Each structure stands twice: as C-alpha cells, then as structure tokens.
C-alpha cells in the first residue's frame, strides 16, 4: 500500500539515483546527497506533523460532537 513516507522515499531515491548517475564531481555529488537527505527528513517531518494535527482535530471534534450528557 502507498503511504506518504514510501512516496517520499521513492521520489528522493530517484533524485539520488539521478545525482549518482549524472554528476561526475565527487565533492558536488556528496553535497547534493546531503541536500536530498535533508529534504527527505524535512518532508517526513511535515507529513508526521500534519498527520498528528489532523488526528488531534478529528478526536477533539468527535469528542465535542458526541459529548456525553451529564445527569
């Protein structure tokens, strides 16, 4: 099944493959690889944060909508 993290990994691995294949300067290749790794970490963090916000919003909205009546 496709998840956000697997899609991010697929795109970032494609970038790494492109860099490995077409960039000939080793120093530049290493810097681009570090950039791609940083982008991967950032994107996964954004997905995680967005998912946590959505889950919290859903829980709070559900609790408010289905609030238990007190006696």
The residue ranking higher by pLDDT, 70 or 41, is 41
> What does R_g of the chain's alpha carbons equal in angstroms?
20
The residue ranking higher by pLDDT, 58 or 2, is 58
Q: How far apart are CA 1 and CA 43, in angstroms?
A: 19
User: Residue 71's pLDDT is what?
Assistant: 55
Q: What does the block give as tokens for 66?
A: 């289905």
Report the helix count and the strand count for the chain, using DSSP H and E. 2, 0
Q: How far apart are CA 43 and CA 18, in angstroms?
A: 19
- Is the per-residue pLDDT at 18 higher than 60? yes
User: Residue 7's pLDDT is what?
Assistant: 96
pLDDT digits (tens, 9 = 90+) for 26-63: 999 999 999 999 999 999 999 999 999 999 999 999 88
Spell out the residues 6+ positions from residue 39 whose beta carbon is closer than 8 angstroms to its own: 12
User: Residue 51's pLDDT is what?
Assistant: 95
Q: What does the block give as tokens for 9?
A: 């990994």
């Amino acid at each position: 099944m496709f998840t956000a993290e697997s899609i991010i990994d697929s795109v970032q691995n494609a970038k790494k493959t492109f860099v490995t294949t077409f960039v000939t300067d080793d120093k530049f290749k290493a810097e681009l690889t570090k950039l791609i790794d940083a982008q991967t970490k950032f994107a996964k963090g954004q997905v995680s944060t967005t998912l946590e916000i959505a889950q919290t919003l859903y829980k709070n909205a559900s609790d408010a909508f289905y609030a238990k009546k007190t006696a």
